């Protein structure tokens, strides 16, 4: 069964600190892995997109890594800001021709002043 698991489920950190969110998937065959940020009451916004051949992708203070062999990805947030408080969702898409996204369980991040 195609699944995407994320950890931790929730996380609280102080402003300015770094954090790393984890994503493990069993989707096969695999095409792309995306990380989204979803603010409360809003739709998801894309942070990074990686194909199976990419190991790392950065977007400002967000850096995503991918190990296609172990089927693991991480999202590292540097120098966190209060505005980083949101849910972060790992999304995997299967082989070409399969347009559906498989959503992870999400990590709820709270950044405190």
Partner 1 sequence: GAVVSQHPSWVICKSGTSVKIECRSLDFQATTMFWYRQFPKQSLMLMATSNEGSKATYEQGVEKDKFLINHASLTLSTLTVTSAHPEDSSFYICSAMRAYSGSSYEQYFGPGTRLTVT
96 binds partner 1 (CB under 8 A): yes
CB of 103 to partner 1, least distance (A): 5
Burial classification of residue 111, based on how many CB atoms lie within 10 Å of its CB (0-12 exposed, 13-18 middle, 19 or more buried): buried
60 binds partner 1 (CB under 8 A): no
110 binds partner 1 (CB under 8 A): no
Q: Is the peptide bond before 71 cis (omega within 30 degrees of 0)?
A: no
Nearer to partner 1, 13 or 49 (CB): 49
Segment 32 to 51, residues that bind partner 1, using CB under 8 A: 36, 41-46, 49
CB of 99 to partner 1, least distance (A): 6
Cα–Cα distance, 110 to 90 (Å, whole number): 17
Query: Two tokens at 30?
Result: 């695999």
Pairing mode, strands 56-59 and 107-112: unpaired
- Interface residues with partner 1 (CB under 8 A)? 36, 41-46, 49, 89, 96-97, 99-101, 103-106, 108
């Amino acid at each position: 069964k195609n699944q995407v698991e994320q950890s931790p489920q929730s996380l609280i950190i102080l402003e300015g600190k770094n954090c790393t969110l984890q994503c493990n998937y069993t989707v096969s065959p695999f095409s792309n892995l995306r990380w989204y940020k979803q603010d409360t009451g809003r739709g998801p916004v894309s942070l990074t997109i990686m194909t199976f051949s990419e190991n790392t992708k950065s977007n400002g203070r967000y850096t995503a890594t991918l190990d296609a062999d172990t089927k693991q990805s991480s999202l590292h947030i540097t120098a966190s800001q209060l505005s980083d408080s949101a849910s972060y969702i790992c999304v995997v898409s299967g082989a070409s021709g399969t347009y559906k996204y498989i959503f992870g369980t999400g990590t709820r991040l709270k950044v405190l002043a």
